[in-house]
Amino acid sequence: MPDEMKIAMLGPRGVGKTSLLAAMYDQFESTVGLTNLQLIPDLKSSAILAERLGELKSLVYDFEAKGGIGYTNDIRSFIFDLGKRGSKPSLRLKFQDFPGVYLDAKLPEESDKLEDYYESVKDMMEESDAVIIAIDAPALMEGRGKWHEKINRPQQIKDLFARAYQNLKSPRLVIFAPVKCEKYLQNETSAKKLREKIKEGYANLINFLQSEAISPWVPCAIIPVQTVGTVVFSMIEEIDNTPHFYFHKTSHNAMYSPKDSEIPLLYLLRFVLKIHNHNSNFDWGPYKFIRDWFGKQEDIKQAAKIALEACQSHDDVTLLQGDKWLKID
């Protein structure tokens, strides 16, 4: 059994957590896959992600799409083994994708279990070495922010962090990952507005992460991901106080063309590599295996460094804090 790192996928239902993970894995080959590293999903993860990837690619066949693709109410773990090509993997990445419905204030037919659901999410975050917060970009950007609180639930997410991140003694990586954000990355002006809206919409959480007790341990970054690349937000139709989001292709001939989907994975590798290189009086604790892993496999360390060159100065990534845990010397 390889050593394991846990990554929590956090976000409301329907925002696209599983789609984000599918796109991340799909585009991994274009960067890290060109080195001697390989990322292998287990059979169950491979089947689920292949199905979701097919749904993502099919969005380009409808010129006008409503909403996006479906969501699940099941707790799922996606397991990837990382190692040298042709060799037994030595590091396991376990992405824990809990149902976004768990953030709902009231669950149909299961309201008596709501407290247990919240507790399970908190426990998952406590156990995770990194958290990726999937953000519904149109809900954040459109309608003067009318739907942001209802759909993205930033205050509730902040409260989860406040409960889970107590007495931290080891570093944790936090990534804000806006999805369905193609419309807002067309130029630097719109990209800047997206970054500002995220800082504004998640101000309470960012302030918490920047507090004196938390900030030394928690690097965090904004990493927009275009999971399709050629499908952009079009309009909102409000029916019975419920928003219905519509999207359209950039042109009739536009094909599936994701962008930056692999960058969150590369930042996770960057985080792992930095922990290995850290040479101060650091209590390795749960990360001791990382030091041993890279120390014994110099070729994997060098391959990771090559891959990380792709995200060293990425234009659309905004590092909010904790650069000491992400800068590669």
pTM: predicted TM-score of the whole model, two decimal places: 0.86
The region that residue 167 occupies, defined by phi over 0 for left and psi between -120 and 50 for alpha, beta otherwise, is: left
For residue 246, the cross-strand partners are: 66, 235
pLDDT tens for the chain, 329 residues long, are 557 788 999 887 778 888 888 888 888 766 666 667 778 888 898 888 888 888 887 776 654 555 555 555 566 788 888 777 777 776 788 898 876 656 665 555 555 666 777 777 888 888 899 999 999 999 999 988 888 998 899 998 999 999 999 988 888 999 999 999 999 998 999 999 999 999 999 999 999 999 999 999 999 999 999 988 888 888 888 888 888 888 888 887 888 888 888 888 888 888 877 776 554 445 545 555 555 555 555 655 665 566 566 566 566 889 999 988 887 66
- Cα distances from 68 to residues 15, 131, 196, 245, 261, in angstroms, run 9, 23, 25, 8, 17
On the 0-12 / 13-18 / 19+ scale of CB atoms within 10 A, 74 is exposed
Encoded tokens for 272: 């792992």
End-to-end CA distance of the chain: 31
Contact 204, 159 (CB under 8 A): no
